[in-house]
Amino acid sequence: MPDLWSELLACLDLRQRPTSPSPGTADTRPGIGGRRRETLTVYEGSSQRLDHGWLYGGQLLAQIVRASVCACPAKAVKSLHVVFAHEGKGDAPVFYIVQRQHEGRSFATLTVTARQKRDIVATAVVSMHAHEDGPQHQTVTDIPEIPGPRHRVQVPLLPWETRSTADLDQTGAHPPDYELWMRTPPVPAESGPALAAYATDLSPIGTALRPLEGVGQSGNGTAFTSATITHSVWFHRAFHTDDWLLLRHHSPLVAHGRCFGKGDILTEDGTLVASFAQEGLLRFRP
């Protein structure tokens, strides 16, 4: 496998297709009823060449964030809500068709369709917002101290430093909670939301498995089959991923072949900077 960190950064460097209008310009061709047609912009992103051959959902989340910012550079992503429609392949690029539904002075709404070969692999609704000042308040549970170096863990697909006092591969019964500290190498601040979104797709299903005796995250493909169905991320404040961040996971439900999880991203001083939620497929083999 090539260097995962360098390859991930390359995946975030999207290329605008030459047939697309420039970001921020309007497509003035008439639409239905004479109304102006929404602007379409198409970006191409490379895919991670992973050993198992399929696309990691976090790559799609990260590239959707980057495509949205490229198409609407005057605003930041406020939230994205993604439906994973079809399993993607790691041997082909992904094309992101961005349609600007609305753009005002404060907010913008985009739809993003991720296509690969003949398949739609994901669709997303993205809300964007220009920075505004105002009163601030948050209510979150106190966060623990960062675990020491002896709690370093190797998390597949996360090519940066991670620490945790729990192990999602353990097969004993535990509460459906999981805390993971992470810190990336130095990167520009604008890369932070995409990298954070990338990380949020990895552990919600493993967290949902923790109360089930005899099953751990590593049993995917043998004891059970899992995949992300829908995933949402909300960005509350600016942050840097090369500072320590806590991904705090909780899963309240496993039922009917699905699981649900949610979580928060907090800085070392307890500032809530993002939240996420995921519904996953979780089918146990007889």
3-class SS of residue 39: coil
Beta carbons within 8 Å of 137's beta carbon, 6+ residues apart: none
Contact call for residues 194 and 12 (beta carbons, < 8 A): yes
pLDDT digits (tens, 9 = 90+) for 134-184: 999 999 999 999 999 999 999 989 999 999 999 999 999 999 999 999 999
pLDDT value of residue 146: 97
pLDDT band with cut points at 50, 70 and 90 for residue 2: low
Phi, psi of 190 (to 5 degrees): -65, -15
Phi, psi of 95 (to 5 degrees): -105, 130
First to last CA, the chain: 33
pLDDT value of residue 50: 87
3-class SS of residue 103: strand
Instruction: Look at 149 and 33; give whichever has higher pLDDT.
Output: 149
Ramachandran region, residue 229 (left: φ > 0; alpha: ψ -120 to 50; beta: rest): alpha
pLDDT value of residue 90: 87
Contact call for residues 104 and 128 (beta carbons, < 8 A): no
pLDDT band with cut points at 50, 70 and 90 for residue 34: very low
**DSSP of 210-265:** TTSTT--GGGBTTTEEEEEEEEEEEE-S---TTS-EEEEEEEEEEETTEEEEEEEE
**Distance (Å, whole) CA 167 – CA 177:** 11
**Distance (Å, whole) CA 268 – CA 146:** 8
Mean pLDDT of the chain: 91
pLDDT band with cut points at 50, 70 and 90 for residue 35: very low
Residue 32, pLDDT > 70, answer no
